[in-house]
């Protein structure tokens, strides 16, 4: 339900009055002594004095306790007298008194979001020991706040209807507990798990660190609770396909995977499971670390590369270099396997793999065309050569042709600067003048 | 090469090598640096080998594939020794004639000689070619005399003699003192005194120290490190072993760019050969001193040339710099004291040990000693690697060695120091080139890239190029660099696409100030140099883009149009055939015209027209 209807969203910034006419910002700056809390270290008078010279500032004052009633009315009076459009309070942390000052300016008819605070207590006076430097810093903080305040736009508070339900993705111990907490608080929860059962990793563990508690003893009661709770809607063997909307009004689309069992009629007798000859039971998880789909052959290939270098986390980049050459890119499963073998977190391996340009996370074409865009090549027209190749191959830099024949890359200097513009196809270097790139590539196509 | 037992044995081994070689034998040295390979150097070398074989000359003639000679513009280069005859742009078809005339006979193949563009005269000997004549090739000079994959070749010219001298006659402290007294400054960009760096590393607490050779060479437009590693890997290795002895280091690393496969191959080969010869590894030259080097291939990130990022990368981590309130000489690789020096710096060390600090300090200027290799590229006639004493002027480099601007255009600027450097305008051409003078001009020595630009280069475009380069290469760890460069690039893009506004120039200066003051590593804190120097020396060009929406150099696509100059067009149809979007119409032998709606401004017509009949404005 809308609580109040005011000006349309946020138009025009602080300088726009409600009629939409644009005005120069008029800002008041209020520097608080906070008793001695600020004043013992920061020369508050000087701060106010300097702040008075900042652009858009029309008044700048100090007061022993800005948050006190007289302090607040000082601000309110100024707003009326000097027709302020924005207010900067240089005082404590906004966590402390922002609501106080917002209320104060709001009372005087200025949108509460046109207030900005400079924290010169927690982030300045309390943590510094040199008064002069602290004062300088306080001035800088106020300068920044004034600059910000000059750009602020009025915001409007509205109430909108929300659907008080939540979606928890992943039915591991964390997801189960989150779902239970929300459900206990009286809201509906949709708990989505991609495997046929909730429980997750914890169901694979025997004991938990550091107390060596029996993990099943922790997990099973919660699994049962979650499945029985009236507020929890379990969606196992399902995945979230899409989430759209915004806070309070999300729409999520789930894919329920095929299950071949009529859940309405099933009595959970377990006979089908016992007599099934195939045993392709989906909940058998891959052992931690070795990707399920990695073939024996791939493991041998990767093992050979790792053996060449040695099992040492420091050699990660060297190993990935060779994997990248072996596969012409870095397949995800290979990354996971290398992570497992080297005892490095998969996230770290991914960080490295995505940081260095030598590595490709996408399959690349059979021929790799690299256009040097080093300075010397640039000065001699490398951009034109690149454009020619883009037109010819129909792809942009970093892309691969659909038939996987070519990948087009740019490289920052191949160290052949005397011959620029230089194009390298696989390992052949070509000095290519703009206009000749077509002919250069044609030689590879007939070959 | 055989194993060398001790220091005295090295000289014996050298004599043995020399004995097997006839000093008067003809040697055909073919440059097989990457530049010459790109022009077909390897096939020329093969042709020489089979020609020599088929004439049964193998016992009398040595066919030598060497590293880069420097004169890449004219490759493939072939030098016939001992006469020192230089043949340029040699094709496999020329090989038989060269062997017949100059190897078996004593004549010249005139048509392959270098013709001096100024005097029109043919020049026979390599050392008389103006490109080489004005250089002082202490380091590069040896590239042409040896096969980089042969440790014998290096030993034959006295290689590893400095190591023997250091191990035999000098204490570690003396070596450090000599390097310090020589005034050698780091060639990797910063120009920090190498001797002082070594000294502070020695003073740092801890008994395990490391030593690293920085061969990342990410600086676009510079390739001297590549050429040294490819052409004379042992000279760098010798420097590293000497350094290791001086610093008491047993483990060294070389961090090489992954785009340099030949450098990796040649250096790895050098390590294996040196180990087998007793010049590296356990008990070097029988002295009990042990040191070995491992090769780390980089992952293609410019920022990994920065010391702390490089060390993180060797440790197998993403190459993100860390704040340097504690220097890497105290806590570097694996938190241990570490000395990091550039390839060219290491290659200078054996020379200094051999010839002494005074000899080295006599070359160069007050604050910058020795020689520096520049990669002279861009719009000059003779591109290539040039090694000159510090203090030579830009004009000498560009005019005397580089042979001036190509194609009758006029000089506009020279960019030095890579992305952290700046563009220098014509009135500063008489500036002596050394660390300090370049810095005064707002640029940098950097690693020695020297990109010459003519009136057809747009300085706003160049600034945008560098900012774009750094924006892509920023590791993203700190905000000023990550966001500041993005904003600068957006502003420069606006200017080059005709959306420039008056305030943009102030904004560029303001962001530059922020970067300089606050970025975490020098990638960010020097990134403003290309922008600030172009603003300082070429403000008019910015103004033309902003106020008149015009690109004076005709580079910025959005601001130019292509048209046919009716008087000059002969109707040869070449442009119409080459135009990728069929925007050129006209009948053969009649004046053509460009349909502006279809023109994508690719500039191909301009490049292909032989009659200067395409105008850009
Ligand atoms: C972003 C960045 C890139 C760098 N790239 C290189 C490089 O490619 N090669 C190099 O030798 N030094 C490079 N440096 C300089 C090194 O950090 C370091 O100063 C140098 O290797 C030290 O050796 P030197 O004293 O022999 O010059 C780079 C520095 C920065 C900040
Ligand atoms: S300045 Fe740039 S490259 Fe250097 S640490 Fe910051 S973000 Fe990374």
Q: What are the pLDDT digits (tens) for A28-75?
A: 999 999 999 999 999 999 999 999 999 999 999 999 999 999 999 999
Give the nearest partner residue to B316 out of A317, A378, A429, using CB atoms: A317
User: Max alpha carbon distance in chain A (Å)?
Assistant: 88
Q: State whether residue B447 sits within 8 Å of chain A by CB.
A: no
Q: What is A27-149's CATH number?
A: 3.40.50
Give the nearest partner residue to B72 out of A344, A419, A433, using CB atoms: A419
List C-alpha distances in Å: A144 to A95, A119, A309, A323. Answer: 18, 11, 53, 49
Sorting pLDDT into bands at 50, 70 and 90, what band is A158? confident
The answer to whether the bond into A421 is cis (omega within 30° of 0) is: yes
Q: State whether residue B33 sits within 8 Å of chain A by CB.
A: no
Tokens of A340: 């497992």
State the alpha helices, DSSP H only, in B474-551. Answer: 479-496, 503-518, 522-525, 529-537, 539-547
Tokens of B419: 């992305």
- The reported pTM is 0.76
Ligand 2 centroid – CA B482 distance (Å): 7
Q: Is the Cβ–Cβ distance between A115 and A87 less than 8 Å? A: yes
Name chain A contacts of B335, Cβ cutoff 8 Å: none
pLDDT score for A446: 64
Closest CA to A41 of A143, A102, A131: A131
Domains of chain B listed by start with CATH number: 22-126 (3.40.30.10), 151-361 (3.40.50.11540), 371-454 (3.10.20.600), 459-547 (1.20.1440.230), 561-616 (3.30.70.20)
pLDDT of B211 higher than 90: yes
pLDDT score for A2: 39
Q: How far is B467 from chain A (nearest CA, A)?
A: 12
B132-162: burial string, b at 16+ Cβ within 10 Å, e else: bebbbbbbbbbbbbbbbebbbbbbbeebbbb
Ligand 2 centroid – CA B473 distance (Å): 9
Give per-residue pLDDT as tens, A330-339.
Answer: 999 999 999 9
Pairing outcome for strands A422-425 and A406-411: unpaired
Name chain A contacts of B453, Cβ cutoff 8 Å: 379
Mean pLDDT of A324-346: 92
pLDDT score for A7: 42
Give per-residue pLDDT as tens, B315-369.
Answer: 999 999 999 888 999 999 999 999 999 999 999 999 999 999 999 999 999 999 9
Q: Whose CA is nearest to atom 8 of ligand 2?
A: B475
Give per-residue pLDDT as tens, B16-75.
Answer: 999 988 888 899 999 998 888 888 899 999 999 999 999 999 888 999 999 999 888 888
Mean pLDDT of B402-408: 89
Q: Which atom of ligand 2 is nearest to the CA of B481?
A: 2
Q: Is B236 helix (H, G, I), strand (E, B) or coil?
A: helix
Q: Ligand 2: does its nearest atom lie under 6 Å from the Cβ of B486?
A: no
Mean pLDDT of B538-543: 95
Q: Which atom of ligand 2 is nearest to the CA of B479?
A: 7
Distance CA B206, CA B202 (A): 9
Q: How far is A121 from chain B (nearest CA, A)?
A: 24
Q: Which atom of ligand 1 is nearest to the CA of B187?
A: 27
pLDDT score for B39: 86
Give per-residue pLDDT as tens, B269-323.
Answer: 999 999 999 999 999 999 999 999 999 998 889 999 999 999 999 999 999 999 9
Tell me the fold of A165-256: FAD/NAD(P)-binding domain (3.50.50)
Write out the DSSP string of B110-169.
Answer: GGGSEE-TTT--EE-BGGGSHHHHT---TTGGGGGGS-TT-HHHHHHTTTTHHHHHHHHH
Give the nearest partner residue to A416 out of B35, B302, B415, using CB atoms: B35
Name chain A contacts of B314, Cβ cutoff 8 Å: 314
* Sequence-separated (6 or more) residues with CB below 8 Å from residue A153: A10, A11, A12, A13, A14, A16, A113
Q: Is the Cβ–Cβ distance between B102 and B90 less than 8 Å? A: no
Which stretch of DSSP H or E encloses residue B357? Answer: helix B357-361
pLDDT of A227 higher than 60: yes
Picking from A345, A413, A423, A425 by the largest number of B CB atoms within 10 A of its own CB, the best residue to mutate is A413
3-state secondary structure chain A: CCCCCCCCCCCCCCCECCCCCECCCCEEEEEECCCCCCCCCCCHHHHHHHHCCCCCEEEEEEECCCCCHHHHHHHHHHHHHHCCCEEEEEECCHHHHHHHHHHHHHHCCCCHHHEEEEECCCCCHHHCCCHHHHHHHHHHHHHHHHHHHHHCCCCCCCCCCCCCEEEEECCCHHHHHHHHHHHHCCCEEEEECCCCCCCHHHHHCCEECCCCEEHHHHHHHHHHHHHHCCCEEEECCEEEEEEEEECCEEEEEEEECCCCCCCCCCCCCCHHHHHCCCCCCCCCCCCCCCCCCCCHHHHHHHHHHHHHHCCCHHHHHHHHHHHHHHHCCCCHHHHHHHHHHHCCCHHHHHHHHHHCCCCCCCCCCCEEEEEECCHHHHHCCHHHHHHHHHHHHCCCCCCECCCCCEEEEEECCCCCHHHCCEEEECCEEEECCCCCHHHHHHHHHHC
Q: Is B7 exposed, middle or buried (0-12, 13-18, 19+ CB in 10 A)?
A: middle
A423-447: burial string, b at 16+ Cβ within 10 Å, e else: bbbeeebbbbbbbbbeebbeeeeee
pLDDT of A378 higher than 90: no
Give the nearest partner residue to A415 out of B226, B316, B318, using CB atoms: B226
pLDDT score for A155: 93
pLDDT score for A8: 41
Ligand 2 centroid – CA B36 distance (Å): 36
Pocket perturbation via mutation, ligand 1, pick of B239, B306, B344 by most ligand atoms within 8 A of CB? B306
Contact A413 B319 (CB under 8 A): no
Nearest-Cα residue of chain B relative to residue A429: B38
Closest CA to B256 of B311, B221, B298, B312: B298
Q: What is the mean pLDDT of chain A?
A: 88
Mean pLDDT of A107-130: 96
Name chain A contacts of B413, Cβ cutoff 8 Å: none
Q: Is B297 helix (H, G, I), strand (E, B) or coil?
A: strand
Between helix B343-355 and helix B233-247 the angle, nearest 10°, is 70
Distance CA B230, CA B67 (A): 6
Q: What is the mean pLDDT of chain B?
A: 93
Closest CA to B28 of B114, B127, B112, B103: B103
Domain extent listing, chain A: 27-149, 165-256, 282-355, 367-446
pLDDT score for A4: 42
Give per-residue pLDDT as tens, B243-256.
Answer: 999 999 999 999 99
Q: State whether residue B476 sits within 8 Å of chain A by CB.
A: no
Distance CA A91, CA A120 (A): 5
Report CA B362 to chain centroid distance, whole Å.
24
Give the nearest partner residue to A321 out of B35, B218, B258, using CB atoms: B258
Q: Which atom of ligand 2 is nearest to the CA of B515?
A: 1
Distance CA A67, CA B123 (A): 88
Pocket perturbation via mutation, ligand 2, pick of B469, B472, B524 by most ligand atoms within 8 A of CB? B524
pLDDT of A21 higher than 70: no
Mean pLDDT of B402-428: 91
Tokens of A96: 């402390």
pLDDT of A360 higher than 50: yes
Q: Ligand 2: does its nearest atom lie under 6 Å from the Cβ of B321?
A: yes
3-state secondary structure B434-448: CHHHHHHCCCCCCCC
Q: Considering every ligand atom, which ligand is closest to the CA of B319?
A: 2
Mean pLDDT of A145-158: 93
pLDDT of A15 higher than 50: no
Q: Is the Cβ–Cβ distance between A327 and A362 less than 8 Å? A: no
Contact B317 A433 (CB under 8 A): no
Q: Ligand 1: does its nearest atom lie under 6 Å from the Cβ of B341?
A: yes
Distance CA A302, CA B58 (A): 45
pLDDT score for A309: 93
Sorting pLDDT into bands at 50, 70 and 90, what band is A16? very low
Closest CA to B433 of B404, B398, B394: B394
Q: What is A367-446's CATH number?
A: 3.40.30.10
Ligand 1 centroid – CA A43 distance (Å): 44
Sorting pLDDT into bands at 50, 70 and 90, what band is B418? confident
Contact B299 A388 (CB under 8 A): no
């Amino acid at each position: 339900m809308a609580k109040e209807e005011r000006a349309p969203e946020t138009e025009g910034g602080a300088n726009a009055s409600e009629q939409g006419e644009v005005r120069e910002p008029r800002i008041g700056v209020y520097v608080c002594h906070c008793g001695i809390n600020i004043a013992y270290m920061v020369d508050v008078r000087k701060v106010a004095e300097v702040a008075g010279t900042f652009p858009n500032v029309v008044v700048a004052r100090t007061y022993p306790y800005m948050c006190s009633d007289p302090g607040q009315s000082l601000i309110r009076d100024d707003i009326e007298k000097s027709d302020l459009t924005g207010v900067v309070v240089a005082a404590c942390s906004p966590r402390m008194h922002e609501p106080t000052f917002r209320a104060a300016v709001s009372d005087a008819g200025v949108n509460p979001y046109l207030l900005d605070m400079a924290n010169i207590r927690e982030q300045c006076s309390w943590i510094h020991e040199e008064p002069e430097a602290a004062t300088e810093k306080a001035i800088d903080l106020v300068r920044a706040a004034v600059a910000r305040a000059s750009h602020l736009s009025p915001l409007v508070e509205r109430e909108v209807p929300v659907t008080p339900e939540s979606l928890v993705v992943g039915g591991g111990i964390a997801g189960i507990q989150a779902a239970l907490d929300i459900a206990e608080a009286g809201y509906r929860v949709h708990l989505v798990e991609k495997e046929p059962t909730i429980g997750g990793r914890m169901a694979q563990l025997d004991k938990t660190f550091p107390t060596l508690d029996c993990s099943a003893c922790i997990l099973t009661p919660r699994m049962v609770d979650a499945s029985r709770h009236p507020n929890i809607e379990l969606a196992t063997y399902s995945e979230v396909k899409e989430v759209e909307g915004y806070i309070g009004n999300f729409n999520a689309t789930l894919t329920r995977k095929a299950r071949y069992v009529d859940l309405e009629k099933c009595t959970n007798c377990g006979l089908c499971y016992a007599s099934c000859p195939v045993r392709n039971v989906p909940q058998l998880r891959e052992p931690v670390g070795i990707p399920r789909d990695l073939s024996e052959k791939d493991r041998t290939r990767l093992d050979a590369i790792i053996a060449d270098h040695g099992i040492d986390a420091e050699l990660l980049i060297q190993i990935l270099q060779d994997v990248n050459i072996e596969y012409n890119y870095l397949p995800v499963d290979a990354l996971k396997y290398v992570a497992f073998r080297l005892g490095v977190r998969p996230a770290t391996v991914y960080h490295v793999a995505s940081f260095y340009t030598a590595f490709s996370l996408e399959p690349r074409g059979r021929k790799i065309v690299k256009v040097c865009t080093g300075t010397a090549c640039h000065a001699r027209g490398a951009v034109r050569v690149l454009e020619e190749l883009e037109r010819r191959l129909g792809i942009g830099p970093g892309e691969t042709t659909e038939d996987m024949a070519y990948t087009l890359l740019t490289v920052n200097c191949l160290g052949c600067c005397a011959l620029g513009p230089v194009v390298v196809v696989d390992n052949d270097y070509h000095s290519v003048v703009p206009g000749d790139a077509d002919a250069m590539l044609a030689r590879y196509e007939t070959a | 090469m055989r194993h060398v037992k001790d220091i005295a044995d090295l000289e014996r081994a050298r004599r043995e090598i020399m004995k097997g070689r006839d000093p008067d034998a003809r040697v055909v040295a073919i440059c097989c640096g990457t530049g010459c390979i790109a022009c077909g150097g390897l096939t020329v070398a093969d042709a020489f080998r089979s020609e020599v074989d088929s004439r049964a000359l193998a016992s009398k003639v040595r066919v030598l594939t060497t590293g880069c000679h420097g004169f890449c513009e004219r490759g493939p280069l072939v030098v016939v020794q001992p006469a020192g005859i230089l043949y340029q742009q040699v094709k496999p078809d020329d090989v038989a004639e060269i062997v017949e005339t100059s190897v078996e006979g004593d004549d010249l193949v005139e048509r392959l000689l270098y013709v001096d563009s100024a005097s029109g005269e043919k020049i026979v000997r390599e050392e008389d070619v103006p490109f080489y004549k004005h250089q002082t090739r202490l380091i590069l000079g040896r590239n042409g005399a040896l096969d980089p994959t042969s440790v014998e070749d290096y030993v034959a010219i006295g290689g590893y003699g400095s190591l023997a001298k250091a191990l035999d006659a000098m204490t570690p402290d003396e070596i450090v003192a000599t390097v310090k007294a020589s005034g050698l400054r780091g060639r990797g960009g910063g120009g920090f005194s190498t001797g002082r760096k070594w000294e502070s590393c020695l003073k740092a607490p801890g008994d395990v120290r490391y030593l690293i050779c920085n061969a990342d060479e990410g600086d676009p437009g510079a390739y001297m490190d590549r050429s040294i590693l490819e052409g004379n890997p042992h000279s760098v290795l010798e420097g590293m072993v000497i350094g290791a002895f001086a610093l008491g280091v047993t483990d060294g690393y070389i961090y090489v760019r992954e785009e340099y496969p030949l450098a990796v191959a040649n250096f790895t080969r050098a390590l294996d050969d040196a180990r087998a010869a007793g010049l590296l590894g356990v008990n070097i030259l029988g002295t009990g001193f042990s040191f070995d080097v491992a090769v780390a291939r980089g992952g293609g990130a410019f920022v990994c040339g920065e010391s702390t990022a490089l060390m993180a990368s060797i440790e197998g981590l993403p190459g993100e710099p860390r704040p340097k309130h504690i220097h890497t000489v105290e806590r570097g690789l694996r938190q241990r004291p570490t000395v990091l020096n550039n390839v060219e710096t290491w290659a200078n060390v054996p020379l200094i040990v051999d010839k002494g600090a005074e000899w080295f300090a006599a070359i160069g200027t007050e604050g910058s000693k020795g020689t520096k290799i520049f990669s002279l590229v861009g719009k000059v006639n003779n591109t290539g690697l040039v090694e000159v004493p510090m203090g030579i002027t830009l004009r000498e480099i560009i005019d005397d060695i580089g042979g001036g601007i190509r194609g009758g255009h006029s000089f506009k600027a020279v960019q030095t120091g890579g992305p952290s450097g700046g563009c220098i305008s014509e009135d500063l051409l008489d500036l002596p080139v050394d660390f300090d003078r370049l810095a005064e001009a707002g640029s940098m020595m950097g690693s020695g890239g020297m990109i010459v630009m003519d009136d057809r280069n747009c300085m706003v475009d160049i600034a945008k190029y560098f900012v774009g380069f750094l924006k892509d290469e920023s590791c993203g760890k700190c905000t000023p660099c990550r966001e500041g460069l993005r904003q600068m690039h957006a502003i420069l893009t606006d200017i080059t696409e005709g959306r420039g506004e008056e305030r943009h120039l102030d904004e560029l200066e303001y962001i530059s100030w922020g970067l300089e003051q606050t970025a975490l590593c020098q990638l960010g804190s020097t990134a403003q140099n290309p922008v600030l120097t172009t603003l300082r020396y070429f403000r008019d060009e910015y103004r033309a883009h902003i106020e008149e929406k015009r690109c004076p150099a005709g580079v910025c696509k959005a601001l130019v149009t292509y048209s046919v100059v009716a008087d000059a067009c002969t109707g040869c149809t070449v442009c119409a055939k080459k135009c990728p979007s069929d925007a050129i119409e006209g009948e053969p032998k009649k004046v053509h015209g460009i349909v502006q709606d279809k023109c994508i401004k690719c500039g191909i017509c301009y490049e292909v027209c032989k009659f200067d009949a395409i105008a850009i404005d």
